[in-house]
Structure 1
């Protein structure tokens, strides 16, 4: 039984060393790494024998231990020791009523030490002891009721605590048990139980040949490739500050700790941004953006109207989508008549010829007078559309149905549909709204079976008011859609 307990302790020590070392992925400095330790300690013994009354005696030991090199919080070592002392027991019902056994010990084993911070080191020990013993009675005479050997191989287990006083000196406290395979320590055989005794001790240990860790980073000086690491900085196995993103800047000064691999960084560990636009060079598609220019997520200057000309160069910032522009971001005007091509109904106007808003030459009055009488219908925007909307309201359907009937009857008639607004809001916004409203009217008439080619559509904005925009009444009149017959 005692032997099984001993080997179980050995297994626990070995398993603890392996398991804990695997958990400690980062190497740390352990004061006992690679050291030879000399220990002197003394304490009390308490017998677990056939004598039942409480009684203490004394035991002293000297030990030499060697701890293997380690870079984790655990340390594994070997111990040899020798000692001498006494084991005492009393029992008023026994004869003799008191015994005292002389003990001489020599043994060895393995010891496992764990670091709890920088000064406290608990440990466990398991080993075997060769014991010479001599039981004596209360009169001091040697007891020998039975024939047995007065030497035996015992098994030991011990738990203790070392407290670091200096780099080399510790104060120790321990408690342990020595298990005998026999029942001879008290010279009394009783049943099948075996003798044992407990030991509580205190002492001092001095370590020789240990390595130092000058910068206290957990890596001994002989292995430390960065010997002047600042205090409390986390380091790698070589004693150098950790650099998780491998950008060459230690984590403790890295302001951008998750930089992608192989990306160039500045002295603060952040990706380079050569043009200072707030977008790192490694994702900046436009690396030479002028200073102060607002950019998008790819580092390119903003282009709000998507015409290919950055806003900071664009002289016509609200160009409609898809319209071709010049180098200044303004719509092309091929014939130079000041009407952009996308609005120009007469794209090949002669140079310097006066044109209307559609880009067509202005006809003489005489010719205009010869134009057939134009029929006109004016739809009030207030009754036909919602505020700021280009969606037709049911209130406009009646007038439009009447016009559609006329258009179906006169299949060759041509029509001009103009949208007008008041002067509330920007010119560009009103131009766009008036054009959308005119197109909504045309779409309705087309849905009634009229060919779209019979219509010319214009968005006039607030350029052609019919009433005073300074009054609500005037603004109401100006918000309209005009349908004109032009042949």
Structure 2
């Protein structure tokens, strides 16, 4: 019974301190396993010299076939950890001599130093040295000891490994407890590191501890995978270039697409990314005479266009009445290809408030221009189509597309367009014109199309 009290004391003391730490990420762990006590290779009278028959387990080791050792402790920093171990054994061999079964109880305090801290070795192979002291009980006798030895952990992952170590225990009272070696082997479990977002980067090292990220970026995400973490990426959802803070440059002119008024045509930074071939200050996209310089009021051409129909007066059979080039600048009753193209351009700028069928500011002006085209070509009928991206449910998107198409039709009716010239229908998300996997693609899919109905 008195030995049982000693065992309980050691176990309680172990449980009362922090678990044995292996590194700063997981500062808690526990070692549990078996131990062997050997009195022979200690250079004592009647025993062998130092390390004689050090691994002669059959003749000299005292082992009980059960879990007989527990060590717990706390990481101190810079490769050092503090631990307290408790062990049980039964002594039947003292060197080459057999003895009656003697109980063995050890309580040891030690400091470990991880040798990888010196040379930065492999994480899975974790050798260490340890030193400290303890108190050993052999039957009714006891003595303090000074301890020192070596050991190694073989880690399977960040949390579980195998521990093997040996320690020499030098007795301060050899009449009661002889000097001896104690070997140990068992399972080592380390834990205690906090990783809130579960990305494998512990919170103490994670610059984005609540957002799943990458180890390469200290736990921060790189949503578009362009090698620039989101916090430094001006375009975090679109892969781009480091030189442009993570934004793409489709035309390679050195102006990021988000700032490029002509993202698909290489230009200059001075022209906001647009080309101006004739250098007249009118960008090519707006210049109707790209190779001949002209004033802005003439759309970059040196010749006037009095009716602003895109046909210069010198080629316009109706210079004071707008008409398409296909009709030499004179108006047509049935809508022309060019007028339909212009109608489509205006339709692309019909934007709605998010999740609603109400217009955003500036849309009314575009609808007024559409109404003017429809009034000019009175023999043409039109079908208004509403479309959405894939965000939200199919049912909601279908209803929203119908409401948006009808909102456009109602506005045009209010501008005097005859009801028998207009129809509307919503198609939900069923007819995308771009990928719904990107922000730009989704924006292109949220649209209204106006098509000829006759």
Q: Which has the higher helix share?
A: 2
TM-score calculated relative to the size of structure 2: 0.40
Larger relative contact order (CA 8 Å, sep ≥ 6): 1
TM-score calculated relative to the size of structure 1: 0.38
